[in-house]
Amino acid sequence: MLIRKINITNFLCYYGAANQFEFVEGLNIVLGANGYGKSKLYDAFQWVFSDGITDNAPRATPGGLKLTNAVKGDLVSEKAKAECDIGDSVETKVVIEVDDQRNGNPRKYQLVRTYRTRRTDEKTWVEPGKSEFQILEYDIVSYKPVAEAKQAEILERLIPVDVRPYVWFQGERGISNLIDTSSNGSLKNVIKRLSDIDRWDTYIEVAERAYKTAQSAFDQVLSKSQKNQVRIGELQTEQRLLETQVRRLEEQITNASQNQQEAQEKIDALSASIEFAQTISKLNQARSQAEAAYTAAVKQSDAFDEGLSRKLFSDNWVLLGTSSLLDKFEDKLTAYDDAIAIRKATANLTKQANEKLQIRLPDNVPEPMYVRQMLDEEHCKVCDRPAPKGSEAYDAIVSLLLSEPEIIQPERPRKNLKSFFRQFYANGLGMKSSIDSINQRVQQSIQEQNAGRERVRSCKEEFEAKARELQQQEQLSGIVNARDIVNSMNGATADIKKFEGDLVGDRNKKKQHEDRLREINSELSKLSEGQVPAHLTQKKTILFDLMELTKRVKKTKYQELVQQLEDTANTHYRNINAPTGAFYGTIRFIETSDGGYRPAILDNDGREVGNLNTSLVSSLKLSIIMAIVSANKTRNYASFYPLISDAPVSDFDVVKAMTFFRETANTFRQSIVIVKELLVEDTTRIGRYKPDLVRLHELRTDLQAADKTLNVYQLDMPDGVSNAFRNELEVTIQKVNC
Amino acid sequence: MTQLDIVKSFLEDSEIQEKYSLSPADVAQMTLTSHYNADAQVLVGLVRQMVNVVEDGSTPNLAANRLNAHLNTTLL
């Protein structure tokens, strides 16, 4: 198929009907800056052929489509909708004109997809869930509609559905979807899908069935033979047993291969996140350790603080600064002693005074108690005569009483606490040095407390830092189950080793059984001589040889195909990368134990190169895609189908993009490449770009030398129009003369 | 790939060539009517028959029966 023309009307950012690209056989480049409708042009092709546009939802399958019944009115140009009056309709239409030049019977078709939406009020639209599709075939003078029943067949002939993803793809996302370089199964699937390798499986099946029929006929006759009956019986029994075992081993090998592949796919799926998961797992461990250290430091610090309170009494800190009280106590004690001594002395003196006082009373003076008694009785007992109150005698008795000295009651004896206070003082003196060093001990404890608190602070900081780092990693990667991922990865890796061991063991056993079966066959053939018709023996032998042959040939063909693919991929890879001058190595398809192939880059010493940059990975994938398309001589996709790719060189610098364009032109009969490279800023227009005419001219010259044609368009916007306002969005198409 | 190419693909196998005394040249120069020694002729005929029935789209069972029938005719 050659795409001659595409006309786009009111489709996404393509407003109006004057949006037409005419394509040539050769390299067609459509230049467009970001937001200028590159992907929408790619979508126009997809919409016509597949009734859907690229699904850009974050969780959409890479390369997946969002069909018309889901997109509905969003297919229609916003500007066209804005200009539509209530009650009117807007028609979205994409028409692709193609030539089908296969089988020596050239045909021209118009593929037309249409969608209509009608405005019922200011904000409401009738948006059907279906588009209309029509194929028109050119018939001498005009295009005429093709019956609907034939449409699918024509589309499949123009470009088969299984081929489309390999020649029509969008950017790095689309390429990754086709060739997953980390997957063993990826290349195997690609080879199976796009080669005729399945043909050889049919031959194997036919030869096996034919052999079984021949063997059955042979065994039937042989079992009726008269000679060597026992030995023949033994051999046939062993043969049946071995055949059963071989079949079982084949099943086991298939299962082990599948299990191994599943484990590998699991590893592949986890490989993107395992690095993050391992980091997160380590961070988790570090955070737990930091948390434990922080908790221990807090506990230790709290215990220390509690100990400090106890030390007020246990270490006599409460006595801090009381050393001087000992001196005061000593003074008081001395004063006490003095007071005691004084008191004693006073008591003695009093006693002596009393004694003296009593001694000083005249002998003829009665005791005061008798004096008072006499006064009470108003009678002098000395002279035994009355002494009434107021009388001379009474006053004489009173005079005796007045001179009575005051009798001091003796002080009550007090307890002598001297020894107690002495002991108390002695105890105080014993603690003096301890009290004097309290300050030092308090200082030391405060230092220890500060050190403990510093430890708590640093542990807390460490813990918080680890927690923050962990949170950042989790947010960055979106991984919250790091441990599960690491465990799954470890489990899958262990599974692969186990299945590898199973495969080796089972394959060895199978080979031993097959060798023994050949021996049995040979012996049975000898024993059957003269007993089984020769043609049955011959038939069985030759069909056995045929069965083995079909298996070997399939293996050889598969290896040839892989080698051819590898060689072709290397040619493309070299052509794309060599002119850049940077290292690029060699592509090697490494066979894996499960029978798959994994693409790798080897350096000059044949060592696999790890950590490839995105530019090399992209060129590796593009080279493999080109190889798949161009190496397949049976289908010869490169001749039959055009390459349509949106942003295939987004990971390349301009030099490498140029080599990619040359390689594409040399590989595909027609290619339509939609890119933003080869544009430079237009200094005469604000926010606009213009084609890099120098490089385009260089490319044209190179292609002309290889007898290839270059056709260039630029996607532009009228001055003053911004792609930020969808209601005004309008892309213009300009042919570039270079 | 023509049927003759497929037949040649099978007969290019060195193990089968050795067993049936076919040389690489024999295979390279093979045409639809080439003749070889008796054993090789049976094998070549069988492979041609197999390619023919498989490429015609016969079911595996039918193709296998056709091969047995072909050998019955050839070897008897």
Nearest one of A404, A408, A405 to A348, comparing CA atoms:
A408
**pLDDT band for position A487 (cuts 50, 70, 90):** confident
Look at residue A83 and tell me whether its pLDDT is greater than 90. Answer: yes
Look at residue A246 and tell me whether its pLDDT is greater than 90. Answer: yes
Q: A209, B54: Cβ pair inside 8 Å?
A: no
Q: Which amino acid is at A693?
A: L
Spatial neighbors of A150 by CB under 8 A, at least 6 apart, are A135
Look at residue A427 and tell me whether its pLDDT is greater than 60. Answer: yes
**B9 Cβ under 8 Å from any chain A Cβ:** yes
* Chain A positions in Cβ-Cβ contact with residue B61 (cut-off 8 Å): 209
At residue A248, the pLDDT reads 94
- The per-residue pLDDT for range A287-298, each reduced to its tens digit, is 999 999 999 999
- The per-residue pLDDT for range A578-630, each reduced to its tens digit, is 988 888 999 998 877 666 777 889 998 888 887 778 888 889 888 988 888 77
> Of all residues in chain A, what percent carry a pLDDT higher than 70?
91
Nearest one of A591, A710, A542, A580 to A656, comparing CA atoms:
A580
B9 vs B17: CA distance, rounded Å = 12
- The per-residue pLDDT for range A696-713, each reduced to its tens digit, is 999 999 999 999 999 999
Higher-confidence residue of B49 and A262: namely B49
A75 vs A129: CA distance, rounded Å = 11
Closest residue on chain A to B76 (Cα):
A535
**DSSP 3-state assignment of A683?**
coil
A524 neighbors A235 (Cβ within 8 angstroms): yes
Look at residue A196 and tell me whether its pLDDT is greater than 80. Answer: no
At residue B42, the pLDDT reads 94
At residue A181, the pLDDT reads 61
CA B38 to chain A, closest CA, distance in angstroms equals 12
Q: Which amino acid is at A447?
A: Q
- A455-483 as b/e: b if 16+ CB within 10 A: bbeebbebbeebbeebeebbeebebeebe
Distances (CA, A) of A466 to A276, A283, A298, A461: 15, 7, 18, 8
* Chain B positions in Cβ-Cβ contact with residue A559 (cut-off 8 Å): none
* Chain B positions in Cβ-Cβ contact with residue A202 (cut-off 8 Å): 54, 60
**B25 Cβ under 8 Å from any chain A Cβ:** no
Spatial neighbors of A418 by CB under 8 A, at least 6 apart, are A336, A337, A340
Please report where in the chains the tokens 């193709």 appear, as a residue: B63
ipTM over 0.85: yes
Q: What is the DSSP letter of A644?
A: E
What average pLDDT does the segment A468-494 reach? 82
Nearest one of A549, A708, A572 to A630, comparing CA atoms:
A572
**Torsion angle, alpha carbons of A720, A725, A726, A728, to 10:** -30
- A83-101 as b/e: b if 16+ CB within 10 A: ebeeeeebebbbbbbbbbb
* Sign of the dihedral defined by the CA atoms of residues A692, A693, A698, A702, in that order: positive
At residue A621, the pLDDT reads 85
At residue A185, the pLDDT reads 60
At residue A320, the pLDDT reads 86
A81 neighbors A125 (Cβ within 8 angstroms): yes
**pLDDT band for position A481 (cuts 50, 70, 90):** confident
* Chain B positions in Cβ-Cβ contact with residue A552 (cut-off 8 Å): 13, 15
String of DSSP letters for A28-89: EEEE--TTSSHHHHHHHHHHHHHSEEE---TTSPTT-EEEHHHHGGGGB-HHHHHHPPTT-E
Closest residue on chain B to A542 (Cα):
B43
At residue A403, the pLDDT reads 57
B51 vs B54: CA distance, rounded Å = 5
Q: A535, B72: Cβ pair inside 8 Å?
A: yes
Q: B60, A552: Cβ pair inside 8 Å?
A: no
At residue A59, the pLDDT reads 58
**What would the two tokens of residue A460 be?**
């807390």
| Pairing outcome for strands A125-126 and A671-675 | unpaired
Closest residue on chain A to B55 (Cα):
A199
What is the Cα A384 distance to its own chain's centre?
135
**pLDDT band for position A204 (cuts 50, 70, 90):** very high
* Chain A positions in Cβ-Cβ contact with residue B53 (cut-off 8 Å): 206
At residue A63, the pLDDT reads 67
**What would the two tokens of residue A523 be?**
């012996």
A533 neighbors A222 (Cβ within 8 angstroms): no
**What would the two tokens of residue A496 be?**
């692969």
Least confident of A43-57, A255-269, A400-414: A400-414
A350 neighbors A408 (Cβ within 8 angstroms): yes
Least confident of A273-282, A312-321, A662-671, A673-682: A273-282
- Mean pLDDT (chain A) is 87
Among A210, A535, A556, the residue with its CB nearest the CB of B67 is A210
Nearest one of A712, A733, A616 to A665, comparing CA atoms:
A712
What average pLDDT does the segment A565-582 reach? 91
| Pairing outcome for strands A52-54 and A679-681 | unpaired
**DSSP 3-state assignment of B7?**
helix
Please report where in the chains the tokens 């080439």 appear, as a residue: B34
At residue A321, the pLDDT reads 86
Look at residue A350 and tell me whether its pLDDT is greater than 70. Answer: yes
String of DSSP letters for A402-464: HTPPPPPPPPPPPP--HHHHHHHHHHHHHHHHHHHTHHHHHHHHHHHHHHHHHHHHHHHHHHH
At residue A408, the pLDDT reads 57
Nearest one of A68, A73, A41, A36 to A55, comparing CA atoms:
A68
At residue A291, the pLDDT reads 94
* Chain A positions in Cβ-Cβ contact with residue B10 (cut-off 8 Å): 203, 549-550, 553
Closest residue on chain A to B62 (Cα):
A206
At residue A272, the pLDDT reads 63
Look at residue A162 and tell me whether its pLDDT is greater than 80. Answer: no
CA B67 to chain A, closest CA, distance in angstroms equals 6
**pLDDT band for position A479 (cuts 50, 70, 90):** confident
Q: What is the DSSP letter of B58?
A: -
At residue A178, the pLDDT reads 67
At residue A607, the pLDDT reads 87
A154 neighbors A128 (Cβ within 8 angstroms): no
Nearest one of A164, A171, A178, A172 to A39, comparing CA atoms:
A171
What average pLDDT does the segment A390-395 reach? 89
Look at residue A718 and tell me whether its pLDDT is greater than 60. Answer: yes
Element (H, E) at A168: strand A168-170
At residue A183, the pLDDT reads 59
A608 neighbors A602 (Cβ within 8 angstroms): yes
**B54 Cβ under 8 Å from any chain A Cβ:** yes
Among A209, A213, A542, the residue with its CB nearest the CB of B46 is A542
Please report where in the chains the tokens 């798959």 appear, as a residue: A596
Q: A206, B60: Cβ pair inside 8 Å?
A: yes
What average pLDDT does the segment A251-265 reach? 83
A232 vs A222: CA distance, rounded Å = 8
A462 neighbors A279 (Cβ within 8 angstroms): no
A284 neighbors A276 (Cβ within 8 angstroms): no
CA B32 to chain A, closest CA, distance in angstroms equals 19
Q: A539, B75: Cβ pair inside 8 Å?
A: yes
Least confident of A127-141, A203-217, A444-458, A555-569: A555-569
Beta strand spans in A267-362 (E): none
**What would the two tokens of residue A547 be?**
């069965």
At residue A194, the pLDDT reads 64
- A619-648 as b/e: b if 16+ CB within 10 A: bbbbbbbbbbbbbbeeeebbebbbbbbbbb
A678 vs A693: CA distance, rounded Å = 8
B32 vs B47: CA distance, rounded Å = 12
* Sign of the dihedral defined by the CA atoms of residues A13, A35, A653, A613, in that order: negative
**DSSP 3-state assignment of A255?**
helix
CA B28 to chain A, closest CA, distance in angstroms equals 16
Q: Is A181 left (phi over 0), alpha (psi -120 to 50) or beta?
A: alpha
How many Cβ atoms sit within 10 Å of the Cβ of residue A402? 7
What is the Cα A148 distance to its own chain's centre?
48
* Chain B positions in Cβ-Cβ contact with residue A635 (cut-off 8 Å): none
**pLDDT band for position A646 (cuts 50, 70, 90):** very high
* Sign of the dihedral defined by the CA atoms of residues A284, A290, A295, A298, in that order: negative
- The per-residue pLDDT for range A502-549, each reduced to its tens digit, is 999 999 999 999 999 989 988 988 888 888 888 998 999 999 999 999
